[in-house]
Copies of this chain bind each other. A is one copy, B any other.
């Protein structure tokens, strides 16, 4: 265990200090080092070339912000102890440890009906065993069950360190300056009221800006048309690979990936078979993309075309609109790919597909972002804002889209 704080160079914050030796040990663990090989924004780099930052960087950045937030709250008289501070930093450090590669796309494809929070819990439990129960408090905070509620909220809430870091970081690496949020300022204005996290009155405009920036990042980056197209292509690649394997075809894959393609792994399987978590722990962007490269040469035209699309960036065209896609258009395009690629009607569904996407920037359901006024009143930002815009922002926006290879045009 190192005897003094470890410092990382971080392009976003300049420097990031890891104050506790235990935290440093966790960073050194192979489960955590794995996050170096998992990009935060999956395939987004195909549109924003700088978006190569990893969940490793994000987790450390969020842990850094947690330290700042606790220091800020303690300077206002909140008595968060050393032990709690370390636990909260560990909780946020590990909050995403269960993320798999390209998880936005593959979360429900590789592992059916298991989300990354559940897998994070599995990893944290495992680490807790390794460290003889020393991570109990961190685990309790991670699960939102710790007695000092604000710590839970700093890990998971409308204004948690996860969001503050990922918005800053994603904005930075995509090169989208409009996504800049004043995370430093927001953290300095955090306060507590009845053991709930609140923001001081003079932070109202920063919070409005935070919500608007988040929305901008959603539509401008996370749900960017071309990224949406790429992610759906990736999902179809793995559906197809699974299908081919089921049909008895031999497919290039690493041992771990093959396991998940051959089996329909459920959450309970992880507990029953220790091997699975190790397989899962060896999945990353590198072996996924390596498989795609090999699949470019597959004799299966669907798998080959889709894989080439991702590897050589021959992405599908995408039409996105407020109204449902015309069913005739879909049929027309499907017929075109059937004749173009000489494939079956069922196979055509891999190459011409439609779906919807939805987002609401501020979720009006609890927990809210509460503003603490100087007179002691606490009011939800949706009401505290001088204007109605924030409450209007809460309305989800739904969009319909259709993807298809440009060769058929």
Contacts and interface: CB of A to CB of B under 8 A. Distances in A.
A293 B282 contact: yes
Interface string A162-174: 0000000000111
Q: Name A's interface SS.
A: helix
Given A188-B15, A254-B290, A313-B28, A50 B45 contact: no
Interface stretch (A79-87, A208-216, A229-237): A208-216
A406 interface: no
A11 B54 contact: no
Task: Choose among A49, A185, A287 the residue with the greatest number of B CB atoms under 10 Å from its CB.
Answer: A49
Interface stretch (A29-37, A342-350, A363-371): A29-37
Interface in A358-409: 386-390, 392-393, 395, 397
Interface stretch (A88-96, A175-183, A240-248, A330-338): A175-183
Contacts of A175: 9-11, 14-15
Interface in A316-358: none
A299 to B, nearest CB: 15
A10 B49 CA distance: 7
A19 B72 CA distance: 11
A400 to B, nearest CB: 13
Contact of A14 (B33, B53, B56, B177): B177
Interface string A218-242: 0110000000000000000000000
Interface in A82-125: none
A131 interface: no
A376 B28 CA distance: 28
A298 interface: no
Contact of A389 (B30, B181, B294, B389): B389
A282 B216 CA distance: 36
A76 interface: yes
Contact of A205 (B5, B48, B219): B219
Contacts of A290: 254, 286-287, 290
Contact of A75 (B5, B60, B286, B388): B5
A196 interface: no
10 contacts: A9-B50, A11-B175, A33-B312, A177-B185, A208-B212, A286-B290, A286-B293, A287-B293, A290-B290, A389-B392
Interface of A: 4-5, 7-11, 14-15, 17, 19, 28, 30, 33, 36-37, 45-46, 48-50, 52-54, 56-57, 60, 75-76, 172-178, 180-182, 184-185, 188, 205-206, 208-209, 212-213, 216, 219-220, 254-255, 282, 284-287, 289-290, 293-294, 311-313, 386-390, 392-393, 395, 397
Q: Which 10 A-B pairs have the closest CB atoms?
A: A9-B175, A389-B389, A290-B290, A178-B209, A11-B175, A52-B52, A30-B312, A286-B289, A11-B50, A287-B290
